[in-house]
């Protein structure tokens, strides 16, 4: 399972809506395995096929319990994912993106969502998610729709500026 190159802005594939997955075959299974390994090696918590220059509506997400970091992580593979039931509650949170290295952004997201998709065997699934996991799903579904976090951010930060601010913070500054 080779690692795939993660493309970065301004690569044009990142801004295009991905094609639906229409066939679940061995080639797709290899792509999914490559995406999981690439996501883990990056390291990241989610990866969409357009981020490796494959314009398919396919995402992988791996996430563990927020309260119990020792708990095993759960891997989600979703073909043709769509958000079907977003909550009315919107929260602002800081996000990063493997395709936008060196930056993070404040992004408004629904606190909980239901994601409808197909699993890696092509069977229909629904995933209910809240909190950080809901944010990850929304971020990755945006990728397959050609939307980047910087397109919808309320504020964008350079990581090096945040690190500089932390170095200059002392107890007297707090």
CB 143 within 8 A of CB 149: no
Whether 140 sits among the annotated catalytic residues: the reply is yes
Average pLDDT taken over every residue of the chain: 92
Q: What are phi and psi of 35, to 5 degrees?
A: -65, -40
Res 1 pLDDT > 90: no
Q: Is the model more confident about 89 or about 68?
A: 89
Q: Which residues, 6 or more positions from 54, have their beta carbon under 8 angstroms from its beta carbon?
A: 4, 31
What kind of architecture, by CATH, is found in domain 12-173? Alpha-Beta Complex (3.90)
pLDDT given for residue 164 in this prediction: 66
Domain-wise residue ranges, the chain: 12-173
- Best CA proximity match to 50, nearest among 151, 140, 149: 140
CB 131 within 8 A of CB 94: no
State how far the alpha carbon of 107 is from the alpha carbons of 2, 32, 169, in Å.
32, 27, 25
pLDDT given for residue 165 in this prediction: 62
Q: How many CB atoms neighbour CB 59 within 10 A?
A: 29
Average pLDDT over residues 129-138: 97
State the catalytic residue, choosing from 67, 69, 140, 160.
Answer: 140
Q: What is the pLDDT of residues 99-112, one digit of tens each?
A: 999 999 999 999 99
Res 85 pLDDT > 90: yes
Res 168 pLDDT > 50: no
Q: Using CA of residue 42, residue 86, residue 109, residue 147, what is the dihedral sign?
A: positive
* Euclidean distance between CA atoms 33 and 139, whole angstroms: 20
Res 167 pLDDT > 70: no
pTM of the complete model: 0.89
Secondary structure E strands in the chain:
46-48, 58-63, 74-83, 90-96, 103-110, 112-118, 124-130, 153-158
pLDDT given for residue 71 in this prediction: 77
* Euclidean distance between CA atoms 112 and 41, whole angstroms: 28
* Euclidean distance between CA atoms 142 and 134, whole angstroms: 12
């Amino acid at each position: 399972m080779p690692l795939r190159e993660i493309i970065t802005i301004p690569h044009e594939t990142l801004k295009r809506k991905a094609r639906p997955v229409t066939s679940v075959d061995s080639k797709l299974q290899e792509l999914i395995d490559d995406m999981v390994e690439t996501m883990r090696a990056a390291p990241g918590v989610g990866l969409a096929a357009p981020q490796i220059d494959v314009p398919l509506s396919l995402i992988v997400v791996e996430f563990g319990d927020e309260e119990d970091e020792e708990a095993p992580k759960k891997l989600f593979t979703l073909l043709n994912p769509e958000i079907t039931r977003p909550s009315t509650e919107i929260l602002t949170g800081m996000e990063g993106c493997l395709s936008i290295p060196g930056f993070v952004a404040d992004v408004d997201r629904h606190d909980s969502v239901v994601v409808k998709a197909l699993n890696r065997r092509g069977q229909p699934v629904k995933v209910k998610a809240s909190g950080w996991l809901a944010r990850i799903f929304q971020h990755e579904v945006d990728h397959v729709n050609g939307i980047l976090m910087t397109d919808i951010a309320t504020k964008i930060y350079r990581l090096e500026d945040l690190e500089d601010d932390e170095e200059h913070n002392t107890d007297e500054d707090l």
